Each structure stands twice: as C-alpha cells, then as structure tokens.
Structure 1
Amino acid sequence: MRKAIGRLVANEDLNFLLTNRLPRRLATNFIGWFSKIEQPLVARTSIAVWRFFSDVDLADAKEMRFKSMHACFTRTLRPGARPIDPDPDVIVSPCDAIVGAHGRIEGDEVHQIKGAPYRLSELLGDADAARDFEGGTYVTLRLTAGMYHRFHAPHDLTVEQVTYISGDCWNVNPIALKRVERLFCKNERAAIRCRLNDGTPIMLVAVAAVLVASIRLTFMDTERALRIGGPRKVKLATELTKGADMGWFEHGSTIVMLVPRGYELKREIDTPARMHAGVGLFDRR
C-alpha cells in the first residue's frame, strides 16, 4: 500500500496540486495547532500516520515517547548521535538534509535548481550582505518531513543579525522548485548572519515551507514563532560553539548556506546526496 501511495504522490502534477494548490497558509496554521494536541490517542495516531507517509527514523531520538506530534517533530537526539567534525578549518553541515543546488556565487546570482536562478540580494533582503559572498559558494540543504528538524552552529561563531522576511509557504520539494520561479525569495525566511572568530562571514537562510508552522531560534525568544512581530532586523552578539543548537523547523524545510571566498565544498557532492549535521561541508582553501 505504501508503495502504491508513493507512486501516486510521485506523479509531478498530482504532487504539485496536493502540496501547493491547497490553501497553504490555512493548512500550515492548522497543522501548527493540531500538532500540539497532547491527547494521547490523537498524538499516537498522528505520529503513526506521519511515520507511515514520511519514513521517519527515530533510532537516534533521545526519547521514544512523545506527548504530541509537535514534540516528535522537534525531538532532540541522544548524545553523540551527530558527531561534530572538530577540525577548525572545516565548516560543518548545520543539519540533516538532502543536498540540492550548490556552486559558485556568480555576481548576485545563485540557483534553486539547475536553470532556475534567483538573486541573492532578494533572498537576503540586503544587497550589501549579498556582496560579502560574491565569488563564494552556496549550498541548498533540504530537510524532508521525516528528518531530524533541528539545526546547529556550523562552526564556533557569533550571530550578528537575524533578518526576518515574511512571505508565502510554497512547498520546497524539487517539483515545486522546477515550477515556481524564485521560490525561496517568495517564502517566509530568516537570514541569520554570523561571523567566525577570524572574521569570516557566513550566512544561514532558514526558509519555511508549507506545513512549517514556524521557525524557532534558540538564541532568541523560543516561546514565540519568529513571524510574531512581523518583518524586522534584530541585531545580536550571541556566541555559539560548533555544533550548538541554533533552532528548529516545525516540519521539513530548507537552509541555504553561504560562505565567502577562501572556502570550498569539502568534496564533490552529488545531487541529491544525504548529509548529516556535523559532517564536514566546507574546507578552508
């Protein structure tokens, strides 16, 4: 049965219809509310259905009993489940993900998928910030619905600013990326500007998607969804160690990661390749 459903949903037209033509914000708000219901029968049933359709692996979870689907979405892992590459010359992956588009940043242009460019300055909402990464490298990291949903500091760093940009919640799967131009620039997102101890700037852009009830950042007010308060820039000076928890999505989504000249992908990465948090991603050239 699961294979039959998988083949049906794999049909591009049907997949796009189901995930993007429904009332996206209404569906997202509903899931945000429903996932927090702590009634045991509702929690067990919803988690079972989610695991059936999303191939969820809880083998590394710190706990195996969850009082709500939301608690399962935002689960922590047992200690040591994601070893962090200690090499100071290596920037690691901030999350478990499937690697999408990646490559050199040419001027102000990057790609959400081959042949589908968008402007980095539009993604970040800041032309000056985009210029810091001209000639650098970008990589798109997609967290699927069944993955571990937290993301972590890719190096010892200081978070200097968070720019929150409100927007839509299109699905960010490859089918939607082929069909919706500049999709990442249309979705709700948070551009997290960081600086390594040697002054190197890096950027993590957390992009929300359909059914992502909110982006949460642990170095800010984690009691509130980031969207509460509207579009804004928040200046910070928060120091984090490599591998420290930075936040989570309340469903699968995407992080676009930017590094400047002087770093390159640690190895040639095939698309789509699966990446774990803490695995070396960029090397100092």
Structure 2
Amino acid sequence: MTVKNLIEALTEQEDINFLLTNRIPRAALTRFMGWFSKIENPLVRDASIACWRLFSDLDLSEAKKTSFKSLHDCFTRELRPGLRPADPDPAVVASPSDGIIGAFGTIADGELYQIKGAPYSLRDLLGDSELVEQHRNGRFVTLRLTSSMYHRFHAPQDGRILKVSFIHGDVWNVNPIALKRIERLFCKNERAVIRTRLKNGEAFTLVPVAAILVASIRLHALDLVLNAGTRGPADYLCDVDVQKGDELGWFEHGSTIVLLAPGHFDFADNVKEGSRILAGQALLRNTTS
C-alpha cells in the first residue's frame, strides 16, 4: 500500500477524519497556514505542493501559469482562458465555481439544511431579517470546494452587487463528516453574505463560507481580503454591475458557497447530490423566462 492509499484509508474512517481535521487548534493553525502559504522560497513552495499532491488529486494542467511563487499563488491560481465559459442562455443560472453539489431544494419558511436531517435557519446564516424575508420560500443549493479544486468564483447571473456583510466565526472543516456532526455549521463559520439583485430586481444571494486553514475570502468588488483579521464595520455597501461569468473573487482554502435564489427557479437536470459541477455549467433555470 502506498503512503497516499494509507492516508486515504485513514481519512475515510469518520472518527479519525473528524479528529484530524477539527479537534485541533483550528484558529491557530489557520493563522499559521495563512503566513506559511505565502512564503516565496522555491524549496518551501516545491515541498508544499508535493505534499499537497500526496494528500489530494491536485491537477495543475488547466492552470494559466506553469510555475508559482508560493503555495498560496498555486492555490488561488487562474485557469487558461476559455476553460470555464458561462452558459449563454439568459434564463440559466451558472454555477459560480467548481464544486461538489451538496444539499439543495426549496427553503421551507426560512429553513434549509446542510445535509438531510440537519436543518438551519436563514436568519442564523444571513443575520439580516429583510434578506431572510426575500428568500423565505426560495431555492437553495450548496457547492463544496475541495482543496485541489479551482478556487475562484464567478457571477452566476447578470446583476448588481448591492452589499457585502462579513460575519466573523469559527473555521470548522466543511466536509460531509463535519456537516453530520456539527449543527448549524455554516452559521458558525466565517462567511460573507453577498447581496445581489438580478436585472428584474429580484434578490439573489451568495454566501461564501470559509473553512479551516487559510480561511480568507477575496472579493474584487471591495478590493479586500476578508478574514479573522478584518476590523471595523462588517457591512460594505456596493454598487457594482456584474455579468454572468465575471470573476467575483476567490477562496484561500477549500470551502462552500451557499446560493439563494427566487422560488420560481428550477434546478438543472445535472444537479444531483454528490455530483461534480464546473464553474459556468447550468445550475438553475428561471421558469418565467
């Protein structure tokens, strides 16, 4: 058995996986990785990327660059132009990122779920009563990004970013094992609530949720990196038009995006729990178009 196979066998054991990825000093390790990943030393970079390959299915063949300054530079890599075109149908909501489809469905009077049998409330997730009312009986879908995936995310539809609220919190792992064990996990972790309006004026909201290790979210609309070190007001007013497919920012570690859409949107045929989706592929469809 190879070292990689041994690691995979161990991490497939739920108790061991949960201990290794959660029962550690999460905040301290996250701060350390934020510093370590930005070291621009060839030996540190090469050893870090080699270790990353050992623990994951990292594939850099789509990357725009062939060499990187640091682990962080590799993690937040751009792709070659044209590899993630947004679905051109104006009625289609495109996936904002590469990811694994988690829970999805109809929001039931302000309640949704992180996995089956594990509900949480919009109020706890968003912290904004007005926004809760706008999504009370809408649609939701969660996309989980693993560490090896492309970590930039894009506008799923044409619209306007009105406001971003950053909510401080913990940095639990967001894998399915943790979601089964930690109630309301998305409501406990650091996250950004990106409030947007579609062209017809309806609310469409993205909630990037940070996770263990770097746990930072870069948003171009604010020209900021939001993380535990963010100080001052947590609400940022915006007035930024975006077109479907425009890059909105990136995660600095694998995490999750929760999308909240109007209730008259239906899920695309390829939306199935546990299936993989690429940024730009169809996620939802506006049935009134």
> Aligning the two structures, in what range does the TM-score lie when normalised by the shorter sequence?
over 0.9
Work out whether 1:24 is the aligned partner of 2:31.
Answer: no
Deviations 1:103-156 (A, max 9, x none): 000001000000000011110011220111122110010000010001000011
Matched-pair contact (CA < 8 Å) for 2:271–2:283: no
Shift in Å at residue 226 of structure 1?
4.6
CA distance, structure 1, for counterparts of residue 270 and residue 72 of structure 2: 36
Q: Structure 1 residues 213, 135: CA separation in 2 closer, same or farther (over 3 Å shift)?
A: closer
CA distance, structure 1, for counterparts of residue 232 and residue 118 of structure 2: 29
The 5 A counterparts of 1:105-144 are 105-144=107-146
* 1:157 corresponds to which of 151, 156, 159: 159
Work out whether 1:71 is the aligned partner of 2:73.
Answer: yes
Matched-pair contact (CA < 8 Å) for 1:212–1:252: no
CA distance, structure 1, for counterparts of residue 220 and residue 87 of structure 2: 22
Matched-pair contact (CA < 8 Å) for 1:164–1:230: no
1:206 corresponds to: 208
Q: Among the aligned pairs, what percent are the same residue?
A: 55
* 1:194 corresponds to which of 155, 176, 196: 196
CA distance, structure 2, for counterparts of residue 93 and residue 70 of structure 1: 24
CA distance, structure 2, for counterparts of residue 37 and residue 225 of structure 1: 20
Q: What root-mean-square deviation, in Å, do the aligned CA atoms of Structure 1 and Structure 2 show?
A: 1.1
Work out whether 1:86 is the aligned partner of 2:88.
Answer: yes
Greater shift in the superposed pair: 96-105 or 1-10: 1-10
Matched-pair contact (CA < 8 Å) for 1:24–1:170: yes
> So what's the TM-score if we normalise by structure 2?
0.96
Deviations 1:42-88 (A, max 9, x none): 00110111122121111211012001000000000100111210111
Provide the secondary structure at the position in 2 that maps to 1:132.
helix
Q: Structure 1 residues 65, 268: CA separation in 2 closer, same or farther (over 3 Å shift)?
A: closer
1:218 corresponds to: 220
The 5 A counterparts of 1:86-105 are 86-105=88-107
Shift in Å at residue 270 of structure 1?
2.1
1:184 corresponds to: 186
Provide the secondary structure at the position in 2 that maps to 1:25.
helix
Matched-pair contact (CA < 8 Å) for 1:161–1:234: yes
CA distance, structure 2, for counterparts of residue 51 and residue 245 of structure 1: 26
CA distance, structure 2, for counterparts of residue 107 and residue 30 of structure 1: 41
Gaps of 5+ in 2: none
2:284 corresponds to: 282
2:273 corresponds to: 271
Greater shift in the superposed pair: 52-61 or 169-178: 52-61
One-letter code of the match for 2:19? Answer: L
Matched-pair contact (CA < 8 Å) for 1:166–1:231: no
> So what's the TM-score if we normalise by structure 1?
0.97
Provide the secondary structure at the position in 1 that maps to 2:135.
coil
Structure 1 consecutive aligned stretches of length 4 or more whose deviation exceeds 3 Å: 224-227
CA distance, structure 2, for counterparts of residue 112 and residue 230 of structure 1: 30
Gaps of 5+ in 1: none
One-letter code of the match for 2:108? Answer: E
Matched-pair contact (CA < 8 Å) for 1:166–1:230: no
Shift in Å at residue 269 of structure 1?
2.4
Deviations 1:144-178 (A, max 9, x none): 00100010000111000101100000000000000
